[in-house]
Chain A
Amino acid sequence: MFVTDIRKDFYEVVANQRVALLVAADIDALCACKILQALFHCDHVQYTLVPVTGWQDLCTAFLEHKEQFRYFVLINCGANVDLLEMLQPDDDSIFFICDTHRPVDVVNVYNDTQIKLLIKQDDDLSVPSYDDIFRDEEDEDGDGDDSGNESDGGSEPSGKRRRFDEGAIERRIERQRARREWEARRREILFDYEQYEYHGTSAAMMFFELAWVLTKDTKDMLWWAVIGLTDQWVHDKITHMKYVTDIATMQRHVSRHNHRNEDEENSLSIDCMRISFEYDLRLTLYQHWSLYESICNSCYTSCSFKLWTLNGQKKLQEFLADMGLPLKQVKQKFNSMDISIKENLRDVIEESSNKYGMKDIRIQTFGVHFGFKNRFLAGDMVHAAAALLESTERDESDTTDNFIKALDSLSRSNIEWLHSGIDLAKKKLLAIQQTVASCICTNLILSQGPFLYCYLMEGTPDVKLFSKPLALTLLCKYLLRAFVHSTRNKRCKLLPLVMAAPKDVEKGTAIVVGIPPESETSDKKNFFGRAFEKAAESTSSRTLHNHFDMSIIELKTEDRSKFLDALITLLS
């Protein structure tokens, strides 16, 4: 069921209890976790934090902790499957789920006792009504009784009974027909409801609202909510409209905080955190890199210029010349660029990029500023934390360690971690661009009919980076965008992309990701989740649907071709 009063029905319930927090491995979940942790610290609530990377992790964590905890809070996991069936909990376990995955499973919506959804009811849900899906048991009992009576009374036929029998048989046939119709309609409704996967409002924003209702919201929590929202945009989970609407919501909170603190006479210490609204450039990490590198490695600019071709490189030089920026300046670290150039850089770039066909080079976002030299944009922090979360630097790649490191990097006191995350993010972006360039130039993307397909060979440089879901999804998105810009085939531009990369060479598994087609007005609804399930069933391929996003699966490399064929037949 949906929780209406988040303070009374959630926070006050758990405030005096010990809680288990099961948190998924994405940046929005990390931010939501930080906000909740800060609230728990204020009120001395005892909790245990367990990072979970997939359904198996979730089940294991639940089994480990079900003896000691009655209340479980699930962040960004658990809403899109029948949780009670998967976990088989005792009757007194209560689950609070704050998840952006949609569609929410109907059992979770209509369960009144054990599942509490921390989701707003009008959050783009369109849940089918109760009567359409669940049928009362009494009708079936009545059916059974009727037939029971008839079989009992069959040994004594009399005139009256025979007439009664005929009427009863007709009614029974009628009932069965109605039931079949109802079930067919139910199947259709459920199919439509569960066909497309998409994402709802950020979990971090939900928890920030909780903090606001409790009037315990601080600038730190506001910043984390902004990062959670930006993560959804960077990893292409929400539509542009929704992003802009949510930014407006956050902007109201930001102005409220800024208004509260700034005063003419009593100005704040330079160490206090200041969040400001920025209509900034869509160049990834440009303030921590050189402008040139950032233009070359950001998806938007690199695809618009087609920087993997010689022509594209020339166009870039023209672009820089058009703006009057000397090459030496542009290739320097951004902080060391001349102040005269930095002053109205954004306007200059916007003007020139309009000439080159890039209308949306600027995007609404927020920046934070504390101390004398720490300035970050929300997008920078998302990339840094994502790089830390999925870093393959150490060989054992302990996921819990990476999770904790990424979580720590979001605090203001751990700037070194943040900087190391930014460095890792730069490497990741370089790797993505090089892979995209090589895939396009060697025509690795093949049209399979209903979708495009690309497979990363084992020897590709940095292929280890792409064995992680977030990195692979980012690569997928950039690749599709680049392909759309570079192909002449009009039909191919509207196709979705399925990408496979080797995950574990010893075990012979690959990770497969499907993303919806690239378009200006895309509603980001992904049908690959169900498609993958059906294709795997029909070919009995050895797949593992472990990830919380149904459109990311693991597959045995040998089964790849038959799985692909099944997918093609399914979707055409």
Chain B
Amino acid sequence: MTSLSTPRCFWLVRFAARETAMDPSEVEFLAEKQLVKIIPNFSLDKIYLIGGDLGPFNPGLPVEVPVWLALNLKQRQKCRIIPPDWMDVEKLEEMRELERKEDAFTPVPSPHYMELTKLLLNHASDNIPKADEIRTLVKDIWDTRIAKLRLSADSFISQQEAHAQLDNLTLMEINTVREFLLDSLNCMYKLRSNLQPGSRKGQLTDY
């Protein structure tokens, strides 16, 4: 999935034409594999899971765990979540300004910044200082990026460009535009090929 954020993602998106877009909850599920620091209040030896090793847990000592485990422990009041480094008001303000200035997409704080913000702020907002401002800033960054994406998709379709540069896009953002972009490109292709009389009609499948 990390390959989707490189410039070559355009080709892979094209090949995935026949699949419908992912459900946002599936994207969130993938985001939960990201690691986050917690401070547990219990002790447990190292646990060996198929996806990797976790622990050992000692009360008061920070340990890195995947987000799904962090949220579960938080809801059972067994830990305190430490916000990731990028979840800070000044840093996010800088990123927002940079995003607004540039035409292309700027590097993201984290490949799943939107999902992580939502998950952490919904379940652990008491551990995150200035949670409301962070929520607003992240939403601003998201809005700017989606606006750029929509503009780019719009011009891509209307001007029938052959390629576009989509670096620094996250999976969630691509997912919002994927279904529309692919379907409309397919329609355009169908229309274009119908303009040429007597050509490959038989080989086209109806969408």
Contacts and interface: CB of A to CB of B under 8 A. Distances in A.
Interface string B118-149: 00010001101111100100000000000000
Most A Cβ at <10 Å: residue of B76, B126, B132: B126
Contacts of A263: 129
Given A41-B76, A42-B77, A216-B77, A270 B132 contact: yes
Nearest to A269: B131
B78 interface: yes
Nearest to B132: A269
Contacts of B125: 268-269, 271-272
Nearest to A267: B130
B77 to A, nearest CB: 5
B83 to A, nearest CB: 11
A218 interface: yes
B133 to A, nearest CB: 9
B77 A269 contact: no
A200 B169 CA distance: 62
Contacts of A42: 76-78
Interface of chain A: mostly helix, strand, loop or mixed: loop
Contacts of B121: 269
The listed residue with most B CB atoms (<10 A of its CB), out of A44, A216, A261, is A216
Interface residues of B, number: 13
A195 to B, nearest CB: 45
A270 B125 CA distance: 9
Contacts of B128: 269
B77 A218 contact: yes
Interface string A248-291: 00000000000001010111111110000000000000000000
Contacts, number: 31
B73 to A, nearest CB: 10
A269 B127 CA distance: 10
Contacts of B135: 269
A91 interface: no
A43 interface: yes
A43 B126 contact: no
Contact of A272 (B75, B76, B126, B130): B126
Interface in A21-50: 41-44
Contacts of A216: 77
A268 B76 contact: no
A100 B121 CA distance: 39
Contacts of B76: 41-44
Contacts of A270: 132
A453 B76 CA distance: 52
Interface in B47-87: 75-78
A470 to B, nearest CB: 33
Contact of A266 (B75, B77, B78, B130): B130
B98 to A, nearest CB: 25
Nearest to B121: A269
Contacts of B75: 41
A261 B129 CA distance: 10
Contacts of A266: 129-130
B70 to A, nearest CB: 15
B78 A269 contact: no
A270 B132 CA distance: 7
Contacts of A261: 126
A549 to B, nearest CB: 35
A260 to B, nearest CB: 10
A44 B129 CA distance: 30
Contacts of A271: 125, 131
Nearest to A217: B77
B116 to A, nearest CB: 16
A131 B131 CA distance: 63
A267 B125 CA distance: 11
A516 B158 CA distance: 83
A448 to B, nearest CB: 56
B78 A268 contact: no
A272 B130 CA distance: 12
A218 B78 CA distance: 12
Contacts of A43: 76
Q: Which of A42, A263, A269 has the most CB of B within 10 A?
A: A269
A268 B121 CA distance: 11
Interface string A225-248: 000000000000000000000000
B77 A268 contact: no
Contacts of B126: 261, 268-269, 272
Nearest to A42: B76
A261 B126 CA distance: 8
Nearest to A272: B126
A544 to B, nearest CB: 44
Contacts of A265: 129
Nearest to A218: B77
Nearest to A268: B126
A53 to B, nearest CB: 32
B154 to A, nearest CB: 35
Nearest to B78: A42
Contacts of A41: 75-76
A41 B74 CA distance: 12
Interface in B161-186: none
A483 to B, nearest CB: 50
A218 B128 CA distance: 17
Contacts of A268: 125-126, 131
A12 to B, nearest CB: 15
Nearest to B122: A271
Nearest to B41: A215
A180 B184 CA distance: 100
A413 to B, nearest CB: 11
B136 to A, nearest CB: 11
B6 to A, nearest CB: 36
Nearest to B129: A266
A266 B128 CA distance: 8
A267 B131 CA distance: 8
Nearest to A265: B129
Contacts of B129: 263, 265-267
Given A41-B76, A269-B121, A269-B131, 10 more contacts: A42-B76, A42-B78, A218-B77, A265-B129, A267-B129, A268-B125, A268-B126, A268-B131, A269-B128, A272-B125
Nearest 9 Cβ contacts at the A-B interface: A266-B129, A269-B131, A269-B125, A42-B76, A216-B77, A269-B132, A42-B77, A272-B126, A270-B132
Interface of B: 75-78, 121, 125-126, 128-132, 135
Interface of A: 41-44, 216, 218, 261, 263, 265-272
14 contacts: A42-B77, A42-B78, A43-B76, A216-B77, A218-B77, A266-B129, A266-B130, A267-B130, A268-B125, A268-B126, A268-B131, A269-B126, A271-B125, A272-B126
